[in-house]
């Protein structure tokens, strides 16, 4: 029987058995993080709120810039 891709695969020796993972010890619940200094948290909250309501975060277009002043006519002194 001619050797085919599939018959070659069947001749590969079986992989060594992987031992079952040892039962890991129960993970202790993480201690709560120390409370951050209130001013930092407040500043972050205010900054975050300002960013969320800024035009960048909404679909409201920014106010239009005022039209440029008319160009002075060339050849005439100001």
Average pLDDT rounded to a whole number, residues 37-66: 60
Residue 65 has pLDDT above 60, yes or no: yes
Residue 36's pLDDT is 56
pLDDT digits (tens, 9 = 90+) for 12-46: 666 677 766 666 666 666 666 666 555 566 666 66
Q: Tell me the backbone φ, ψ of residue 41, rounded to 5 degrees.
A: -65, -45
Nearest-angstrom CA–CA distance, 78 and 72 = 7
Residue 68's pLDDT is 77
């Amino acid at each position: 029987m001619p050797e085919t891709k599939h018959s070659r695969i069947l001749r590969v020796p079986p992989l060594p058995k992987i031992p079952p993972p040892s039962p890991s010890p129960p993970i202790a619940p993480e201690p709560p993080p120390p409370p951050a200094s209130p001013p930092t948290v407040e500043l972050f909250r205010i900054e975050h709120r300002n960013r969320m309501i800024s035009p960048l975060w909404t679909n409201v277009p920014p106010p239009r810039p005022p039209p440029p002043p008319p160009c002075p006519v060339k050849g005439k002194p100001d």
